């Protein structure tokens, strides 16, 4: 391994899968502003994940329904003012 390219500031960080609430703790250098107090009573920096191995279809074997119509409507409502200006 090359010397001097890896960070030295590893610490325990909690990662939470927002789709199912599963939380796991591992060492990381990820920066975060939020914290979470887990069952062991210790407060860890918290990183929120969209998907993890507990919710990914490859690992679970189940397909997840994605509400694309709702996402499109949310996008258009968010940028409604921008689209109205173009007309």
What residues does 23 pair with on adjacent strands?
Answer: 16
pLDDT at 71 over 90: no
3-class SS of residue 7:
coil
- pTM for the complete prediction? 0.62
Question: Which strand (E) or helix (H) includes residue 84?
Answer: helix 80-86
Residue pLDDT, tens place only, 43-63? 999 999 888 878 776 667 776
Q: In what order do the strands lie in the sheet with 34-37?
A: 23-28, 11-17, 43-49, 34-37
> Domain-by-domain residue ranges, the chain?
11-86
């Amino acid at each position: 391994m090359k010397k001097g390219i890896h960070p030295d500031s590893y610490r325990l960080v909690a990662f939470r899968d927002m789709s199912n609430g599963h939380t796991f703790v591992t060492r990381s250098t990820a920066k975060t502003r939020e914290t979470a107090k887990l069952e062991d009573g210790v407060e860890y920096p918290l990183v929120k994940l969209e998907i993890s191995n507990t919710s990914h279809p490859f690992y679970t074997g189940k397909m997840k329904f994605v509400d694309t119509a709702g996402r499109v409507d949310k996008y258009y409502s968010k940028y409604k003012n921008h689209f109205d200006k173009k007309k």
